[in-house]
Structure 1
Amino acid sequence: MNTSFYQYLILLLFSTIFQTEIVSAAEYPNDKVDIKPYGLLPKYRSFAFSPNSKHFAFIQRENNIDLFVVMNAGTQAVSAAFRAGTYKARNVYFATDKHVIIVGSKTQKHYQVRGKWENSKAFVYNIETQKLTTLLDNSCVERSQSKIKRCKSRTSSLFPGQSGLGRIIGLNKKSREVYMPAYSGLRKPHYDVYRVSLKTGKAKRFATGNASTIDWFLNEDGTVLAREDFSERTGEHLIYSKTSGEWELIYRNEADIPEFSPQAISQDNKRLFFTSFNENVFSMALDTGEITGPLFGQEGKDVGFIVTDINRKMESIRYSGFTPSYSFPDQKDNETYKMLSEYYPASSVYVEDRSTDNNKWLVHITGNDGAGDYRILDREKVKLQKILAEYPDIAAIGEIRAINYKARDGLKIPAILTLPTDPEKRKNLPLIALPHGGPASHDTVRFDWLAQYLTAKGYAVLQPNFRGSTGFGYELKNSGDGEWGKKMQDDVSDGIKILVKSGYVDPDRVCIMGASYGGYSALAGGAFSPELYRCVISIAGVSDLPLMISKTKSQNKSYSPIVKYWERLIGDPETEKEKLKSISPVNFAENFQAPVLLIHGKDDLVVPIIQSKRMLSALKKVDKVVELITLKGEDHWLSSSETRLALLQEVDRFLEQHNPAGTL
Structure 2
Amino acid sequence: MEQTLTVREILNIKEPAYMIPMSISADNKWLAFCLGGKAAGRESEGVSMAVEGTTQWVCNMETGHAFPVAQSGNSSWAGVWSPDGRTLAFFADIDGKACLWLWDSKENGLKKASALIVCPFFGFEKPIWSKDGKDIIVKSLPPEGLSADFYPVTDEDILLSPDHKPKVFHSMSDRKAGSNIDDDTWVNRYRAEISKINIETGTSTLLCSGLRPVAMELSKDGRSLAFTSCTGEERMDSQQNNFDLWICSLDSGDPPRCVAGGIRMNYGLTFGWAANHSIYYTTSGHLADGGLWHVDTYTGKVELLYKNEKNHLGHDYEPPKPFNDGKVVLIANDKLWCFSHDTGGLEEITIKGERIVVAGFPVTDDDQILLQTHNPHGIQDGFCRVDLRTGEETILIEEQAGHLPWYESGSASGENTIAYFHQDADKPPALKVFDLLTHTEKTIELNQINSTLLGTSQLIRWKTGDRELKGALLLPKNIKKPVPVVIRVYAGSMQSESIRLFGLSQTKCDNHQLFASRGYAVFLPDLPRSWSHEPADEITKAIENAVEALVKHPDIDPDRIAIIGHSFGGYSALVAITRLQLFKAAIISAGVANIISNYTQFDSWDPDTTSNYGMIEGGIFNMGATLWDDQDRYIRNSPIFDFHKIETPVLIVQGTRDHICHAEAGPMFSALKRLNKPAQLVLYDEDHHQSSWRHENIEDYYQRVFDWLEKFL
TM-score by length of 1: 0.71
Structure 1 residues 235-273: Cα deviation after superposition (integer angstroms, max 9, x where no partner):
897834328855142348799xx8736832233362444
2-side partners of 1:557 and 1:231: how far apart?
21
Query: Which of the numbers 539, 554, 558 marks the counterpart of 1:507?
Result: 558
Secondary structure of the corresponding residue to residue 689 of structure 2: coil
Contact 2:245 2:261 in 1 (8 A): no
1:544 aligns with 2:594: yes
Q: CA deviation at 1:636?
A: 3.3
Secondary structure of the corresponding residue to residue 142 of structure 1: coil
Contact 1:100 1:125 in 2 (8 A): no
Identity %: 15
Corresponding position of 1:270: 326
Corresponding position of 1:632: 685
Give the structure with the higher percent helix. Answer: 1
Corresponding position of 1:489: 540
Q: CA deviation at 1:397?
A: 2.6
Query: Which of the numbers 519, 524, 528 marks the counterpart of 1:463?
Result: 524
2-side partners of 1:244 and 1:287: how far apart?
19
Structure 1 residues 514-535: Cα deviation after superposition (integer angstroms, max 9, x where no partner):
2222222221121111x21111
Corresponding position of 1:658: 712
The answer to which of 577-586 and 388-397 deviates more is 388-397
Structure 1 residues 211 and 247: alpha-carbon distance in aligned structure 2, compared to 1, 3 A threshold: closer
Query: Which of the numbers 567, 575, 598 marks the counterpart of 1:524?
Result: 575
* Matched length: 578
Structure 1 residues 534 and 79: alpha-carbon distance in aligned structure 2, compared to 1, 3 A threshold: closer
Corresponding position of 2:419: 362
Corresponding position of 1:447: 502
Structure 1 residues 585 and 191: alpha-carbon distance in aligned structure 2, compared to 1, 3 A threshold: same
Query: Which of the numbers 682, 692, 702 marks the counterpart of 1:648?
Result: 702
Q: CA deviation at 1:57?
A: 1.6
Contact 2:291 2:314 in 1 (8 A): no
Corresponding position of 1:36: 8
Structure 1 residues 388 and 640: alpha-carbon distance in aligned structure 2, compared to 1, 3 A threshold: farther
2-side partners of 1:581 and 1:300: how far apart?
44
Letter of the structure 2 residue corresponding to residue 462 of structure 1: F
Query: Which of the numbers 301, 304, 309 marks the counterpart of 1:247?
Result: 301
2-side partners of 1:501 and 1:137: how far apart?
57
Structure 1 residues 375-406: Cα deviation after superposition (integer angstroms, max 9, x where no partner):
11235455432213356566633111022123
1:384 aligns with 2:452: no
Contact 1:437 1:514 in 2 (8 A): no
2-side partners of 1:309 and 1:549: how far apart?
45
Structure 1 residues 171-209: Cα deviation after superposition (integer angstroms, max 9, x where no partner):
65766x865433599xxx973435598xx9x99865424
Contact 1:58 1:69 in 2 (8 A): yes
Gaps of 5+ in 2: 40-52, 94-118, 148-180, 182-191, 196-202, 233-241
Corresponding position of 1:49: 24
2-side partners of 1:557 and 1:634: how far apart?
13
Structure 1 residues 480 and 455: alpha-carbon distance in aligned structure 2, compared to 1, 3 A threshold: farther
Letter of the structure 1 residue corresponding to residue 591 of structure 2: G
Structure 1 residues 53-74: Cα deviation after superposition (integer angstroms, max 9, x where no partner):
2111223467854321223333
Secondary structure of the corresponding residue to residue 140 of structure 1: coil
Query: Which of the numbers 461, 468, 477 marks the counterpart of 1:421?
Result: 477
Letter of the structure 2 residue corresponding to residue 42 of structure 1: K
1-side partners of 2:68 and 2:427: how far apart?
28
Gaps of 5+ in 1: 1-28, 106-116, 469-478, 660-664
Contact 1:229 1:237 in 2 (8 A): yes
Higher relative contact order (CA 8 A, sep 6+): 1
1-side partners of 2:691 and 2:676: how far apart?
30
Letter of the structure 1 residue corresponding to residue 30 of structure 2: H
Secondary structure of the corresponding residue to residue 490 of structure 1: helix
Structure 1 residues 353 and 563: alpha-carbon distance in aligned structure 2, compared to 1, 3 A threshold: same
Corresponding position of 1:168: 216
Contact 1:72 1:79 in 2 (8 A): no
Q: CA deviation at 1:619?
A: 2.0
Letter of the structure 2 residue corresponding to residue 583 of structure 1: N
Contact 1:306 1:318 in 2 (8 A): no
Query: Which of the numbers 278, 298, 316 marks the counterpart of 2:371?
Result: 316
Secondary structure of the corresponding residue to residue 535 of structure 2: coil
Structure 1 residues 564 and 334: alpha-carbon distance in aligned structure 2, compared to 1, 3 A threshold: farther
Corresponding position of 2:456: 399
Contact 1:284 1:291 in 2 (8 A): yes
Contact 1:464 1:495 in 2 (8 A): yes
2-side partners of 1:234 and 1:447: how far apart?
34
Secondary structure of the corresponding residue to residue 404 of structure 1: strand
Structure 1 residues 570 and 504: alpha-carbon distance in aligned structure 2, compared to 1, 3 A threshold: farther
Q: CA deviation at 1:80?
A: 5.7
The alignment yields a C-alpha RMSD, in angstroms, of: 4.9
Query: Which of the numbers 592, 613, 618 marks the counterpart of 2:646?
Result: 592
Structure 1 residues 121-148: Cα deviation after superposition (integer angstroms, max 9, x where no partner):
745499xxx9997712134232699xx9
Contact 1:398 1:418 in 2 (8 A): yes
TM-score by length of 2: 0.67
